[in-house]
Amino acid sequence: MANDPGIGYQVVASVVGVKGFCSAGHQDGEAFPISCYNTGGLCGFFYHAIFPDLETFQFGGNLPWWEGDTLEVQCPDPVNLVTIRLERSKSQ
């Protein structure tokens, strides 16, 4: 496993919704740290889909439709949709 050097913001992912059945086992209320170096146990399909946003978010960037230090992202399975809230905070 790669070492997470702890650069950029700390990001915590929280599952805030599951529509249908997540085949990777993600459940509403689950929370875990995530970064460009650590998948946090997130399903590979989901991690791959959000990586560009995660990279921008972790290193302090913003996109016009993002507000503050919270971002909601959704998995690529529209039938069994999992929604995750990413929250970033300054590294300590």
Q: State which residues form the domain around 36.
A: 10-89
Q: Classify residue 77: in a domain, yes or no.
A: yes
Number of domains in the chain: 1
Question: Would 3 be classed as within a structural domain?
Answer: no
In a domain, 2, yes or no: no
In a domain, 48, yes or no: yes
pLDDT at 64: 92
pLDDT per residue of the chain (92 residues) written in tens, 0 to 9: 678 888 899 999 999 999 999 999 999 999 999 999 999 999 999 999 999 999 999 999 999 999 899 999 999 999 999 999 999 999 65
pLDDT at position 1 is 62
Q: Is the dihedral of CA 47, 56, 90, 6 positive or negative?
A: positive
pTM over 0.85: yes
Is residue 1 included in any domain, yes or no? no
